[in-house]
């Protein structure tokens, strides 16, 4: 689990002569440290390393710029370089690193790299253990909410207090690869950690489960709306606000309902549970086995007629009700003449055998259409 470079820098700056030369740490994350003394070894790095460099193999300003360029190209998180006496980075190198958002630090020749690397390793391992414990606690809070002892103390010990406001978000990417995992999910998690710092996240069955803590629902919705607008391959469901740790499981259930509907009933790649309308009721009914029978009783004859005659009367009926039973607007939506529509509506009424405009029948038909969009009403 990576740690923010600014956090690592804050840990060493009081006791070691290490100085940041760029404008900031540029929100870089560090997963490990590494010593790299020559350009040819950079290709073996995995990304998110903090590189230590003695500077002995640096032959010129041009060489150092190529060295930094390669580090940046391999997604390294930053560079600490040793200098003798009053030497340091040139203005040209500093400006270049600011331009590419690559943090560079200088250290004195006597700075003990081994001590700094050991300190960083301790921080990284401690953070990884903390994250592992929090993920385990979150899973227990979601799946075993009645067993408070398995998660409450872990949360509170790490600053996630019992009365804070929590929101669960579930998302996935269409580009997910089950064999190699999804690098995009990792990138999303990293980017969200800079915006919503107080969060826990883990991957499960190709989905990223995120718990935010202490943020209002509007803030969470806003940030994930930006994400989903930017990338149409991302599908996300946002749960309800949980007013305390013990209600996290409800936020998770609601987030999953919203997430599931992005792929079935409502063709949008971001949904919040609070905007689901009637789907809140339909999606949360425990006895969903009643759906097929209800659909069969209500519009079963029309579905059967479509199958046998290769017609699309169910679709026409749906569009008709979506347009408030307006023949003019329905004809426009279907790109057909209103006389053609009138003929088809009469045929629909005849097949169904009842008045589709009677209030009770209208409600039943709309519920049946919603159930079919959920994908749970087929028989």
Residue 56 lies in a domain: yes
Pick the last residue of a domain from 83, 111, 139. 111
Residue 255: both structure tokens together: 């987030």
| CATH number of the domain that residue 341 is part of | 1.10.10.2840
Closest CA to 265 of 369, 379, 378: 369
Judging by DSSP bridges, how do beta strands 49-53 and 78-83 pair with one another? Answer: parallel
| CATH number of the domain that residue 143 is part of | 3.30.70.270
Give residue 39's pLDDT: 96
Are both 79 and 190 inside the same structural domain? no
Are both 249 and 326 inside the same structural domain? no
Number of other residues whose CB lies within 10 A of the CB of residue 209 = 21
Residue 26: both structure tokens together: 């540029």
Helix (H, G, I), strand (E, B) or coil at 28: coil
Residue 119 lies in a domain: no
Residue 173 lies in a domain: yes
Residue 44 lies in a domain: yes
Pick the last residue of a domain from 88, 111, 134. 111
Hunting for tokens 């870089």 — which residue is that? 28
Give residue 178's pLDDT: 55
Give residue 305's pLDDT: 94
46: left (phi over 0), alpha (psi -120 to 50) or beta: alpha
Are both 83 and 154 inside the same structural domain? no
Give residue 202's pLDDT: 95
Pick the last residue of a domain from 284, 318, 346. 284
Note whether 162 and 248 are within 8 A (CB).
Answer: no
Helix (H, G, I), strand (E, B) or coil at 324: coil
**Helical (H) or strand (E) element with 53:** strand 49-53
The C-alpha atoms of residue 7 and residue 24 are separated, in whole angstroms, by: 12
Are both 358 and 220 inside the same structural domain? no
Residue 199: both structure tokens together: 């969060």
Residue 116 lies in a domain: no
Residues of the chain with pLDDT under 70: 1, 175-182, 284-288, 376-379
Q: What pairs with residue 146 in β-bridges?
A: none
Residue 174 lies in a domain: yes
Range of the domain at 89: 3-111
Residue 341 lies in a domain: yes
The C-alpha atoms of residue 168 and residue 310 are separated, in whole angstroms, by: 43
Are both 268 and 133 inside the same structural domain? yes
Hunting for tokens 């279907």 — which residue is that? 334
Q: At what angle do helices 113-143 and 248-262 cross, to 10 degrees?
A: 80
The C-alpha atoms of residue 196 and residue 214 are separated, in whole angstroms, by: 9
Give residue 85's pLDDT: 87
- What pLDDT, in 10s, does the model give residues 37-93? 999 999 999 999 999 999 999 999 999 999 999 999 999 999 999 999 889 999 999
Dihedral sign, CA of 257, 261, 266, 268? positive
Are both 271 and 295 inside the same structural domain? no
Contacts of 211 (CB under 8 A, 6+ apart): 138, 166, 167, 168, 199, 200, 201, 248
Distances 70 to 41, 62, 64, 65, 76 between C-alpha atoms, Å: 10, 13, 10, 9, 9
| CATH number of the domain that residue 48 is part of | 3.40.1390.20
Note whether 352 and 324 are within 8 A (CB).
Answer: no
Are both 12 and 105 inside the same structural domain? yes
Angle at the Cα of 349 (from 344 to 354), degrees rounded to 5?
175
pTM of the model: 0.72
Give the chain's radius of gyration (CA, Å): 29
Are both 298 and 276 inside the same structural domain? no
Are both 256 and 148 inside the same structural domain? yes
Contacts of 355 (CB under 8 A, 6+ apart): 349, 361
Residue 121 lies in a domain: no
Contacts of 251 (CB under 8 A, 6+ apart): 166, 167, 168, 239, 240, 241, 242
Q: Could you give phi then psi for residue 336, rounded to 5 degrees?
A: -135, 165
Give residue 377's pLDDT: 56
Are both 135 and 174 inside the same structural domain? yes
Q: What pairs with residue 203 in β-bridges?
A: 208
Number of domains in the chain: 3
Are both 163 and 278 inside the same structural domain? yes
Are both 271 and 134 inside the same structural domain? yes
Judging by DSSP bridges, how do beta strands 270-272 and 165-173 pair with one another? Answer: unpaired
């Amino acid at each position: 689990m990576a740690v923010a470079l600014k956090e690592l820098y804050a840990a060493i700056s009081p006791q070691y002569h290490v100085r940041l030369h760029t404008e900031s740490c540029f929100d870089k994350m560090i997963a490990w440290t590494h010593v790299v003394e020559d350009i040819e070894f950079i290709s073996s790095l995995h990304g998110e390393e903090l590189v230590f460099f003695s500077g002995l193999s640096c032959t010129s300003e041009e060489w150092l710029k190529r060295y930094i360029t390669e580090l940046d190209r391999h997604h390294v998180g930053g560079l600490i370089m040793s200098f003798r006496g009053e030497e340091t980075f040139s203005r040209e190198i500093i400006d270049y690193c600011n331009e590419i958002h690559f943090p560079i630090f200088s250290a004195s020749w006597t700075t003990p790299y081994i001590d700094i690397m050991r300190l960083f390793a301790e921080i990284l391992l401690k953070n990884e253990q903390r994250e592992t414990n929090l993920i385990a606690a979150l899973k227990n809070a979601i799946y075993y909410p009645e067993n408070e002892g398995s998660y409450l103390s872990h949360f509170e010990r790490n600053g996630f207090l019992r009365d804070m406001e929590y929101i669960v978000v579930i998302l996935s990417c269409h580009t997910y690869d089950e064999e190699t995992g999804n690098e995009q999910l990792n990138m999303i998690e990293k980017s969200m950690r800079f915006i919503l710092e107080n969060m826990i996240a883990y991957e499960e069955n190709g989905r990223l489960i995120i718990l935010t803590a202490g943020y209002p629902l509007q803030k969470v919705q806003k940030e994930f709306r930006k994400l989903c607008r930017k990338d149409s391959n991302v599908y996300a469901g946002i749960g309800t606000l949980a007013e305390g740790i013990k209600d996290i499981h409800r936020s998770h259930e609601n987030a999953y309902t919203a997430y599931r509907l992005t792929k079935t009933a409502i063709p949008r790649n971001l949904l919040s549970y609070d905007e689901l309308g009637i789907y809140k009721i339909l999606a949360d009914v425990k006895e969903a086995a009643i759906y097929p029978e209800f659909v069969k009783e209500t519009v079963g004859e029309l579905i059967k007629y479509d199958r046998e005659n290769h017609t699309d009367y169910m679709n026409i009926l749906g569009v008709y009700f979506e347009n408030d039973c307006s023949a003019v607007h329905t004809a426009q939506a279907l790109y057909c003449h209103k006389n053609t529509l009138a003929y088809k509506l009469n045929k629909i009424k005849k097949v169904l055998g009842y008045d589709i405009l009677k209030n009770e029948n209208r409600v039943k038909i709309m519920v049946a259409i919603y159930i079919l969009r959920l994908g749970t009403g087929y028989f």
